[in-house]
Amino acid sequence: MASASRSFTRALRTAAPSFRTTSTRSARFVAPQQAFRQQHQRRGYASGEPNDKYEGNPSGLVYGAGALAAVAAGYGVYLMNPQWFGQTAKETGVFAPKFDDYQKVYNHIAKRLEEHDDYDDGSYGPVLLRLAWHASGTYDKLTNTGGSNGATMRFAPEGDHGANAGLKAARDFLEPVKEAFPWISYSDLWILAGVASIQEMQGPKIPYRAGRSDRDLSFCTPDGRLPDASQGASHIRAIFGRMGFGDKEMVALSGAHALGRCHTDRSGFDGPWTFSPTTLTNDYYKLLLEERWSYKKWTGPKQFEDVKTKSLMMLPTDMELIRDKSFRAYTEKYARDNEAFFKDFSEAVTTLFELGVPFTQPEDQRWVFKSSFD
Q: Which residues are known catalytic residues? A: 134, 273
Q: Which stretch binds ligand HEM (CB under 6 A): 87-95, 104-112, 259-267, 292-300?
A: 259-267
How far, in Å, are 37, 104, 136, 192, 208 from residue 129 at the CA level?
29, 19, 11, 10, 14
Question: Interface with ligand HEM includes 280 (CB under 6 A)?
Answer: no
Question: Interface with ligand HEM includes 261 (CB under 6 A)?
Answer: yes
CB count in 10 Å sphere of residue 23: 17
Which of 262, 280, 288, 335 contacts ligand HEM by CB under 6 A?
Answer: 262
Nearer to ligand HEM, 110 or 256 (CB): 256
CB count in 10 Å sphere of residue 142: 7
Task: Specify the amino acid at residue 55.
Answer: E
CA-to-CA distance for 50 and 64, rounded, in angstroms? Answer: 11
Question: Interface with ligand HEM includes 232 (CB under 6 A)?
Answer: no
Question: Interface with ligand HEM includes 131 (CB under 6 A)?
Answer: no
Q: Which residues in the 70-129 window bind ligand HEM by CB under 6 A?
A: 126-127, 129
Q: Do the strands 271-272 and 261-262 form a parallel or antiparallel pair, or are they unpaired? A: antiparallel
Which of 6, 112, 130, 205 contacts ligand HEM by CB under 6 A?
Answer: 130
Least Å distance, CB 94 to ligand HEM, is 35
Position of minimal CB gap to ligand HEM: 260
Least Å distance, CB 117 to ligand HEM, is 14
Question: Interface with ligand HEM includes 149 (CB under 6 A)?
Answer: no
Nearer to ligand HEM, 206 or 220 (CB): 206
Q: Which stretch binds ligand HEM (CB under 6 A): 249-257, 283-291, 328-336, 360-368?
A: 249-257
* Burial class (CB within 10 angstroms; exposed 0-12, middle 13-18, buried 19+) of 292: exposed
Which of 208, 269, 330, 353 contacts ligand HEM by CB under 6 A?
Answer: 269
Nearer to ligand HEM, 263 or 328 (CB): 263
Nearer to ligand HEM, 149 or 164 (CB): 164
Which of 44, 157, 166, 244 contacts ligand HEM by CB under 6 A?
Answer: 166
Question: Interface with ligand HEM includes 263 (CB under 6 A)?
Answer: yes
Distance, CA of 228 to chain centre: 19
Nearer to ligand HEM, 213 or 338 (CB): 338
Binding-site string for ligand HEM from residue 282 to residue 321, where x marks contact by CB under 6 A and - marks none: ---------------------------------x-x----
Least Å distance, CB 185 to ligand HEM, is 21
Which of 259, 313, 321, 357 contacts ligand HEM by CB under 6 A?
Answer: 259
Least Å distance, CB 229 to ligand HEM, is 4
Which of 97, 147, 150, 227 contacts ligand HEM by CB under 6 A?
Answer: 227
Q: Which residues here bind ligand HEM, judged by CB under 6 A?
A: 126-127, 129-130, 133, 166, 227, 229, 236, 253-254, 256-257, 259-263, 266-267, 269, 315, 317, 349
